[in-house]
Structure 1
Amino acid sequence: MAAQQKPKTAEQVKESFLRSGTTVIQWADQHGFPPNAVYQVLNGFSKGRYGQAHDIAVALGMKHSELAVA
């Protein structure tokens, strides 16, 4: 089984946006998410535990898409 990469922090995601010249609004539009919801995940107002916030966190690389099975 391949090892999963460590999830990114919000600061790492924001830094990657700065390096690539991509705005949060551009990223949200490209991935079909409301920009406000993306800002909420990046700024910690939404924890990304379930629903759309979880989908956003997974797409940003802040969470893994699957739970580990024991």
Structure 2
Amino acid sequence: MTRVRTIEEARRDLERRGKSIKQFAREIGVSERIVYGLLQGRFIGRRGQAHRAAVLLGIKDGVLE
């Protein structure tokens, strides 16, 4: 099991990779609004696109099927 990142760590990782939130959202096929919501702490990422984005950002431990 990998360590779950904090929201700030996820933000820094995107910055380190030179990716905007919009670009990341487009690459993983989710709404930009959802990624912003996750990184602002407004969304938890329980289901659907929010779950997918949270797992790929590393801020949630989960399985993608």
Aligned residues with identical type, % of pairs? 35
TM-score normalised to structure 2 length: 0.86
Q: Any unmatched runs of 5+ in structure 1?
A: none
Matched position secondary structure for 2:51? helix
Letter paired with 1:53: A
- Whose helix proportion is higher, 1 or 2? 2
| Superposed CA RMSD | 1.1
1:44-55 pair list within 5 angstroms? 44-55=41-52
Distance in 2, matches of 1:48 and 1:56, equals 7
Alignment partner of 2:57 out of 50, 60, 68: 60
Give structure 2 stretches of 5+ with no counterpart: none
Q: Secondary structure at the match of 2:23?
A: helix
Aligned length: 63
TM-score by length of 1: 0.80
2:39 pairs with 1:42 = yes
